[in-house]
Amino acid sequence: MTRSNNPQASQMADESMVRGLSAQARAIWPQEQELLSKYALPEAPRILDLACGTGEISERLGALFPRASLLGVDIDAAHLEKAEARCAAHGERMSWLEGDIYEVDLPSGHFDLSVCRHILQAVPDPARVAQRLVEATRPGGIVHLVAEDYAMMHFHPTRGDNDRFWLDGPIVFANRLGSDLRSGRTMFTILKRLGLEDVRVDYVTIDPMRVPREVVAEIWVAWRDGFAEPISQETPFSSEEVHDQFESMIECIRNPEGYFIWHLPVVSGRRSQS
């Protein structure tokens, strides 16, 4: 989701984020790797993983493209340490750079594949992030975004109205911190306006047909642990109400008769050759 301004809440959110990233990778990667495999990339692609976090996906990219070299960039040194340790088996073809996505010095027109996952909804200017990715990508290279949109998740049966909760709770919370949890739907237009070709939106579908319920429950438990308190502090919902909303979604996810659907936009485009 997005970070709180309160340091204690931030620490809790970080611990739960790390847990959540692991579960998200297990939920999403099986479908995402099929999309990545379709790109026309050189045999030894140069990959950028911008805001790589703990390297969950850097590691998987290294395995999917065994001759790739990968640069992982993140602002958080502790996350980069985890990423480096996780990817140690891939050896020197993985490198790491601590820096801010808006300012870090990236080689221009260099990467065959520039990946950015689970961050555009949490930063103030996702269009600027997309522009940085495009600039770092070589002409003919691919920009690949996992662009979350928190109004694209639905549950039945649950107590209360979760659709309304996402709008009036987490989305308002993120707006107060300057980010847009519905940025996923904006990225098609943003990539078009940046002049990319073959811009498309695919969907990773997180539902009980495709992803084990317990893996999805792990994501929601991590979000509850990290964000229920900060959301209650920034919105009209009480702590009990926010917890109850998360609990009702988690019960639905674990209920063999429950259905949930999280449409996760994967937005991609090719940098023009000209």
Ligand X SMILES: C[S@@+](CC[C@H](N)C(=O)[O-])C[C@H]1O[C@@H](n2cnc3c(N)ncnc32)[C@H](O)[C@@H]1O
C-alpha angle 226-80-89 in degrees, rounded to nearest 5: 120
Contacts with ligand X in 37-76 (CB under 6 A)?
51-53, 56-57, 74-76
Tell me the C-alpha distance between 28 and 94, whole Å.
22
In the list 13, 101, 113, 228, the residue contacting ligand X (rule: CB under 6 A) is 101
Cβ-based nearer residue to ligand X, 72 or 158? 72
> Site residues for ligand X, window 193-222 (CB under 6 A)?
none
Q: How far is the CB of 79 from ligand X (least distance, A)?
A: 4
- List the interface residues with ligand X, window 105-144 (CB under 6 A): 117-119, 123
Give 78 or 254: the residue with its C-beta nearer to ligand X.
78
Nearest distance in Å: CB 224, ligand X: 16
DSSP-assigned letters across all residues of 89-105: GGGGGEEEEE--TTT--
Q: Judged by CB under 6 A, does residue 100 bind ligand X?
A: yes
Judged by beta carbon, residue 147 or residue 217, the one nearer ligand X is: 147
Cβ closer to ligand X: 132 or 138? 132
**Among candidates 152, 161, 113, 160, which has minimal Cα distance to 133?**
113
DSSP code for 42: -
**Residue 82 makes contact with ligand X by CB under 6 A:** no
* 194 token code pair: 């940046």
For the CB of residue 129, give the shortest distance to ligand X in the complex, in Å: 8
Cβ 54 vs Cβ 24: under 8 Å: no
> Among residues 32, 46, 71, 79, which is the contact residue for ligand X, using CB under 6 A?
79
Q: What would the two tokens of residue 76 be?
A: 């958080």
Question: From CA 186, how far away is CA 168, in angstroms rounded?
Answer: 20
- Shortest separation between residue 240's beta carbon and ligand X, angstroms: 27
Scan residues 234-253 and list those touching ligand X (CB under 6 A): none
Q: Which residues of 184-197 are buried (b: 16+ CB within 10 A; e: fewer)?
A: bebbbebbeebebe
Q: Looking up tokens 């073959």, which residue turns up?
A: 198
Count of CB atoms situated within 10 Å of the CB of 94: 25
The CA distance from 231 to 233, in Å, is 5
Per-residue x/- track, 5-44, ligand X (CB under 6 A): ------------x---x---x-------------------
Q: Which chain residues interact with ligand X by CB under 6 A?
A: 17, 21, 25, 51-53, 56-57, 74-76, 79, 100-101, 117-119, 123
